[in-house]
Amino acid sequence: MKKLLSLLFIAILFANCTKEDKVVGLITDKAMVVSARVEASQIGSDILKKGGNAYDAMIATQLGLAVVYPVAGNIGGGGFMVFRHHDGKSGALDFREKAPLSSDKDMYLDEKGEVIPGKSSFGVHSSGVPGSVAGIVEVYEKYGSLPFKDLVQPAIDLARNGFKVTKKQANSLNGTLSRFKKANNYQILFDREWKEGDLLQQEELAQTLERIRDNGRDGFYKGKTADLIVDYQKELGGIITHQDLEKYKAIWRKPIVFDYKGYKITSMTMPASGGICLAQILKSVEPYDFSKIDHNSTKYIQLLTEAERRSYADRAHYLGDMDFVNVPIDSLIAPKYISERMLDFSWDKATKSSDVSHGKVLGYESDETTHYSIIDQFGNAVSVTTTLNTGYGSKVLVKGAGFFLNNEMDDFSAKPGVPNVYGLLGSTANAIAPEKRMLSSMTPTIVEKDGKLKMVVGTPGGSTIITSVLQNILNVVEYDMGMQESVNKARFHHQWMPDNIRMEPNGFDSITKANLKTLGYELLERNSLIIGRVDAILVLPNGKLEGGADPRGDDAAVGF
């Protein structure tokens, strides 16, 4: 009896332990914003509290991030928004940067036709024409409800009054100092040693935001801000002109919508590859019964890897801005095509990427983008991924205007067969042309079930964005995880070339890794390697919201 009691005690203890181990994110009744920084999430949530909708909060959060998270939050970059209106209507906005009018497909090649290292990814030559301000104004004109100035003011105040630099942020800034110096011809505000708790005030940025508050898109694409951009471009030998700025337009697009085992998934379409690749990979794995495949087991990693390999090979070959090239979207996501692509998949042995297609690859650079997810008290949902491309973009801080310009030109294929900073290959479909938008991996996504909103999800991470979103969808849909639990789980990634599986260190057990190696997979684990920073919201069965804010960054959920 004593023995039985003690066994019972152990069982109860274990049950409690596992319950405690299951991390749960912030739970709120009605509304939530999850973003890379608590200050930005708070700004967005405050707008919702004032009676604003998710679109109002999108504008305020985007601008808040431009202030408090300059590594990726931006007005000098671009991004994508996928939304689902409370009535079920969905849509997408493309505010991706575009190539300047005087750009050229060979602009990053030397006389011998070789790619000039770093030219497309660093300094004044690497910037596309920014889209973020056109994006927020477009969102406002279509769906905004509070006065525009009220949506911009919190970011102005934050820029002027300042905020405390976090430890991660201080490290990130300090790690970029030499490149700040190299990219600019004056000492920029960020060019000093930082420590945790320092106050960062950005008066010039506050004034730029005031011009946007007072003049909307003209506060950025015309007048003083435009003059400051163009003057500094001229000083540094860049090519963005007044005409480039005036001609920039954000474009409403029809999102990619598909079914996965009864879940309706809505994701971004071209020039973001995210939706197409997500559809291809999910459709490739849909026939499999995940109740027989343990999460993050050898079989799980194998199956996803093989689907990812095939999809990224297609990405490299077929995808580019559809306003310029023909992309066979319907054929690429047709069930028959996808099942044929998976025919040569075997549980017994890794497929070699060189048998799927060819390519030569380089390594990776550190990267930064940011994603935020919002659900409002009216039931509207927005999923936004926005970026300068790599951390602090081109590192060029517009003189007198206080914001970084992107280095998004590197997302084009500078030369077919030569990889970009993410190791991604591209074909002529993604070659540079004036006013063309560079191919993106961004994957802002919304999941529905039985006509009801289920999840809002997205992440930064360059080429790993698609596979991080994929894993979080599978975590929730196939493995019944909560949102925070899902976001915390270790992630892995394969992108066809280079032919290896990138894995978060310490996230996978040694037997699984040994099995994968035996099957012929090459594994890449680096000490500091993290994959994505997923910020997501899950609608729980009782209608409450659970936030998933990625602990890999300073991300935070705020709501009510």
Q: Which residues are catalytic?
A: 369
Cα separation, 496 vs 88, in Å, equals 36
Distances (CA, A) of 369 to 312, 343, 374: 20, 35, 17
Residue 380: CB minimum distance to ligand DON, A: 25
Q: Report if residue 383 touches ligand DON, rule: CB under 6 A.
A: no
Q: Which stretch binds ligand DON (CB under 6 A): 161-169, 334-342, 440-448, 548-556?
A: 440-448
Q: Which stretch binds ligand DON (CB under 6 A): 44-52, 119-127, 209-217, 458-466?
A: 458-466
Residue with tokens 């967005």: 44
Cα separation, 240 vs 486, in Å, equals 42
Question: Judged by CB, which is closer to ligand DON: 39, or 550?
Answer: 550
Candidates 73, 393, 458, 461; binder of ligand DON (CB under 6 A) is: 461
Amino acid at 65: L
Burial code of 147-185, b = ≥16 C-beta within 10 A, e = fewer?
ebeebbbbbbebbbebbebbeebbebbeebeebbeebbe
Cα separation, 285 vs 307, in Å, equals 7
Q: Report if residue 444 touches ligand DON, rule: CB under 6 A.
A: no
Candidates 28, 42, 120, 389; binder of ligand DON (CB under 6 A) is: 389
Question: Judged by CB, which is closer to ligand DON: 389, or 413?
Answer: 389
Question: Judged by CB, which is closer to ligand DON: 80, or 479?
Answer: 80
Cα separation, 98 vs 357, in Å, equals 29
3-state secondary structure of 530: coil
Q: Which stretch binds ligand DON (CB under 6 A): 54-62, 245-253, 461-469, 500-508?
A: 461-469
Q: Report if residue 440 touches ligand DON, rule: CB under 6 A.
A: yes
Residue 211: CB minimum distance to ligand DON, A: 26
Cα separation, 184 vs 508, in Å, equals 42
Total site size for ligand DON, rule CB under 6 A: 14
Candidates 465, 516, 536, 557; binder of ligand DON (CB under 6 A) is: 465
Q: Which stretch binds ligand DON (CB under 6 A): 183-191, 284-292, 372-380, 454-462?
A: 454-462
Residue 63: CB minimum distance to ligand DON, A: 20
Q: Report if residue 441 touches ligand DON, rule: CB under 6 A.
A: yes
Candidates 94, 367, 448, 535; binder of ligand DON (CB under 6 A) is: 367
Question: Judged by CB, which is closer to ligand DON: 278, or 442?
Answer: 442
556 close to 45: Cβ distance less than 8 angstroms: no
Q: Hey, how many other C-beta atoms are within 10 angstroms of the C-beta on 500?
A: 18
Amino acid at 45: S
Q: In what order do the strands lie in the sheet with 492-493?
A: 492-493, 501-503, 523-525
390-409 footprint of ligand DON as x/- string (CB under 6 A):
------------------x-
The structure tokens listed for 133 are 């301000």
Residue 2: CB minimum distance to ligand DON, A: 57
List CB contacts of 304: < 8 A, sequence separation 6 or more. 281, 285, 467, 470, 471, 474, 492, 494
Q: Report if residue 368 touches ligand DON, rule: CB under 6 A.
A: yes
Residues lying near ligand DON in the complex (CB under 6 A) are found at 367-369, 387, 389, 408, 411, 440-442, 460-462, 465
